[in-house]
Structure 1
Amino acid sequence: MAKKLLVIGHVWPEPKTTAAGCRMLQLLETFISFGYEITFASTAAKTEFSLNLNDLGITEAAIVLNHSSFDDFLVNLRPDTVIFDRFMVEEQFGWRVAEFAPKALRILNTEDLHSLRKAREEAVKKGWEFSLDQWKNHPMTLREASSIYRSDITLMISPYEMHLLQQELAIPKALLLHLPFLVNRISPKTVQQWPSFEERSDFVCIGNGKHAPNVDSINVLKNTIWPLIRKELPKANLYIYGAYLSQHIRGLHDPKTGFHVVGWAENVDNVLQKHRLLLAPLRFGAGIKGKLLDAMIHGTPSITTPIGSEGMHNGLPWNGTITDDWSTFARAAVELYQHREQWTTAQTNGTVMINTLYQKETLQPQLKIHFDEVGEQLNQHRDRNFIGRLLHHETLTSTKYLAKWIEEKSRR
């Protein structure tokens, strides 16, 4: 009999608009390959970009927040494993899963450390120099760390964030599992099929407009970096792609200066392969940047910042340049754009990173082994996690009764 997986999504997956959507699709496909019977549930409304999960053989379920109908849903489903997609979902539904599906393995999928991204964003907006103390004292860090303790396994996409949690917050390694994006190996045949240096032209920037780091980076490009590049390359163009771009961002469209705001790209693969360089001047953020990984997958070198490349290359040479000095950023972009040999070396560096650090064929079996080992000794695993048990007793008791109060208030 097939095991049952319940995924409780913060939103319905949108793999064509967000890196988080791609990540979720990779996880779902992985559990399908493991033979799981999957149900995906969410309180969110669907959008035009939401993936039709039924096409993958996955059952879709709409659920209600702060309502006992979810308890009945759990009892009837009897999942063997539950994935909370981000810590906010675990806060909302964790106590219900613990109470009504106590034997289910509870997995937290972080996407990135939201608290780290938020603390960095606040530092940038206030003009502060970011420090880890700001992050450690941020209210969201307390919430996120509590959620990690309450879960049996937390999936971390970035090794840097794995290090932070262990070294700065003393979270036991036994509660964490590094699982980056899962990507197919890039073969020599694939490389040969990519458009060449001469067949590509212009620059590209990709980013969902709902994601604050992307909006900030587009503004940096428009106001600071692109004028410097355009001065050296007066015929070059920069194309901005992304779903949910605001009116402000769309208003930056200025073909006379080569700055083109296009909007959503239905086929990101084609967009990346026709451009010579990707620009990502990210001043804040966390996790692994899907746009930079996609660029490597399609042979497109990139210029980004230390924040952009964080946790992505494990000391391997970057497929372009890493800098947070905007003059250096622009010079590097011009240099790489004009010199075929340097560009080809950068492209090769990206291929090496993908094949060394992100191979699906290697990572999926490791994931299954880890889940099976924890699942077989789940009681012992939870007994060793005393802080997690303490937080379930204290924190979730208050959350439980708050939810029941909201439900009763709504009923009346």
Structure 2
Amino acid sequence: MTEIKKLLIIGFVWPEPNSSAAGARMLQLIRLFQEEGYQISFASPAMDSDFMVDLENLGVLKKSIILNCASFDGYVKELNPTIVLFDRFMMEEQFGWRVSENCPRALKILDTEDLHCLRLARQKAFKEQRLFQLNDLVLEDVAKREVASILRCDLSLMISEYEIELLRTVFKIEESLLYYLPFLLDAKQVDDFIVLPSFEQRKDFVFIGNFLHEPNWNAVQYLKEIIWPLIRKWMPAAVLHVYGAYPSQKVLQLNNVKEGFVIEGRAADAVEVVRGARVVLAPIRFGAGLKGKLAEAMQCGTPSVTSTIGAEGMNGRLDWNGFVEDDPEVFAKRAVLLYEDEVIWRQAQKNGLEVLNNRFAKSLFVNDFKVRIKELLLGIDAHRSNNFMGAILQHHTINSTKYMSRWIEEKNKK
């Protein structure tokens, strides 16, 4: 009898593919493992949300788990997963040692989503009004936790080549522990773009992004205070629609219809919104990983203007589907040019098609990834013996984290 292959995903939150790129990314991974015949369970300590995907409808077993509670030990031991995938390093910190104790043969994979220490170090440098330096990463406390988590796992999925290079050069992480797996998107044909709304049929600018994510909130502030007034100076009738899940009161207060700055809140259908817009604006000033909003713009045939950080890791040596600018005045001028010049707009749209097909087409990555997983499962002992630093961290983490968790567990009983 063939042994059932089981994947346990331990999620930081329940996936919301219509709210964030992280949610969409998680669904891509679920489908990838389902194609390989894995029975998938998704466990999370998070509260249910109104916008979470229906996991059971996708054929995924849903399980609520509790932090610092021995009930997880019994659950994971009985499940006995072939692979455990941690959604962000915080979940590996909480549950990694329990997995190692109860299922020592399980392959442990970390899906980093983005390099949190990079995003936080850039954010700190921005708020202190200074340039980000690579040494800032070493000084970031989160880096110590995140890198330790990477070392304790058998493989870490990285969404950005730039972040792999940082881990290799700054933190000296062995390449065998890292795997480049970006967005896994369906390839596009020129014919797919012909059926999209034309240049003439589209109107207005759009920004879209989850407001729980600090870089998005900052970008909207930047648009409101600096960039949008410049655009309106050259295009007095211009309108920007700002969409995003979980808008706070401070976001809603930016709404000003007279200025053409319209806060729309959550989009009922993000794809429909972006398909109908002529230009996407994304002046991201700090952050990490890949920007789902910009990949979505390319899929919708909608050119964009973004920053260096916004485009980081996305187009490689290919031309951007619009413009990449960091100076606010140049950014605004390029936005107007892209909006008004159909020839430039159409070329930008073609550039986006090239980026999608050459950088994110699912077919470019899935076969190699499946082979890598099979190799690790067959050679897990040799792989782990070559990761001595990970073994050291695993030993000390189990001892320290275990007893801290046990202490919290006992305290919670009182």
Under TM normalisation by the shorter chain, which class is it?
over 0.9
CA distance in 1, matches of 2:159, 2:110: 12
Shift, 1:362, TM fit: 2.5
Q: Is the 8 A contact 2:158 2:182 kept in 1?
A: yes
**TM-score w.r.t. structure 2 length?**
0.99
Percent identical residues: 47
1:188 to 187, 190, 203: 190
Match of 2:206 in 1: 204
1:308 to 307, 310, 317: 310
1:223 to 225, 237, 242: 225
CA distance in 2, matches of 1:164, 1:396: 27
**TM-score w.r.t. structure 1 length?**
0.99
Post-superposition Cα deviations, 1:55-113, rounded to whole Å, max 9, x if no partner, equal: 01100000011111100001110000000000000000000001101000000000000
User: Are 1:99 and 2:101 counterparts?
Assistant: yes
Shift, 1:411, TM fit: 1.5
User: Are 1:270 and 2:272 counterparts?
Assistant: yes
CA distance in 2, matches of 1:160, 1:61: 35
Write out the 4+ residue segments of structure 1 that deviate beyond 4 Å after TM superposition. none
Aligned 1:27-176 pairs, distance under 5 A:
27-176=29-178
2:284 to 265, 282, 285: 282
The amino acid across from 1:317 in the alignment is: D
Count matched residues.
412
Match of 2:253 in 1: 251
Shift, 1:410, TM fit: 1.1
Match of 2:407 in 1: 405
The amino acid across from 2:370 in the alignment is: K
The amino acid across from 1:377 in the alignment is: G
CA distance in 1, matches of 2:164, 2:398: 25
CA distance in 1, matches of 2:194, 2:354: 15
CA distance in 1, matches of 2:296, 2:7: 28
Match of 1:241 in 2: 243
The residue matched to 2:365 in structure 1 has which SS?
helix
Shift, 1:34, TM fit: 1.0
CA distance in 2, matches of 1:379, 1:411: 38
The amino acid across from 2:258 in the alignment is: K
Shift, 1:273, TM fit: 0.7
Aligned 1:380-391 pairs, distance under 5 A:
380-391=382-393
CA distance in 2, matches of 1:151, 1:300: 38
User: Are 1:318 and 2:320 counterparts?
Assistant: yes
CA distance in 1, matches of 2:248, 2:326: 25
The residue matched to 2:286 in structure 1 has which SS?
coil
Q: Is the 8 A contact 2:196 2:275 kept in 1?
A: yes
For structure 1, which runs of at least 5 residues remain unmatched after alignment?
none
The residue matched to 1:387 in structure 2 has which SS?
helix
CA distance in 1, matches of 2:18, 2:50: 11
* Structure 1 vs Structure 2 CA RMSD: 0.7
